[in-house]
Amino acid sequence: MRRRFTALAFAASMAALAAAPSVLAQGHAGHGAPAAAKATGTADGEVRRIDAAAKKLVIRHGDFKGIDMPAMTMAFPVKDAKLLEGLKPGDRVRFAVEQSGGDLVITKIDKAN
């Protein structure tokens, strides 16, 4: 009798454990998006244009690692105007971005020449 009771209690606790993860997931769903880790990626490219006033770089970039984006030419805001120093159109670069709202912001850029 006691043995049977223990087995039932065990089964009940296993069911509770199995249910717990989904309860936790639902608890996070409402406020998960802003706290989620920022997507980051790296790519190689060539500087096409530098807009120091707007703190933007137009880069013809190759495929990204870490971010789903094919090769194209596009403008990127830079996190810090200092990142633009020493760059000129035609420079080959390797750079890192982080997703910020709808933008991919350059956080690091190095000449690859």
Nearer to Cu ion, 19 or 71 (CB): 71
- List 39, 69, 75, 87, residue binding Cu ion (CB under 5 A): 69
Nearer to Cu ion, 75 or 87 (CB): 75
The DSSP bridge partners found for residue 103 are 100
d(CA 60, CA 71): 7
Q: Which residue has the tokens 């495929």?
A: 63
Cβ atoms within 10 A of the Cβ of 94, count?
14
Which tokens sit at 82?
């200092």
Query: Of the ranges 14-22, 31-39, 63-71, 85-93, which one interacts with Cu ion (CB under 5 A)?
Result: 63-71
Exposed, middle or buried by CB within 10 Å (0-12, 13-18, 19+), for 57? Answer: buried
- List 15, 24, 25, 74, residue binding Cu ion (CB under 5 A): 74
Nearer to Cu ion, 39 or 69 (CB): 69
Q: Using the rule CB under 5 A, is 71 a contact of Cu ion? A: no
Nearer to Cu ion, 15 or 71 (CB): 71
Query: Of the ranges 16-24, 32-40, 73-81, 83-91, which one interacts with Cu ion (CB under 5 A)?
Result: 73-81
- Cα dihedral across residues 37, 103, 30, 23: positive or negative: negative
User: What is the binding site for Cu ion (CB under 5 A)?
Assistant: 69, 72, 74
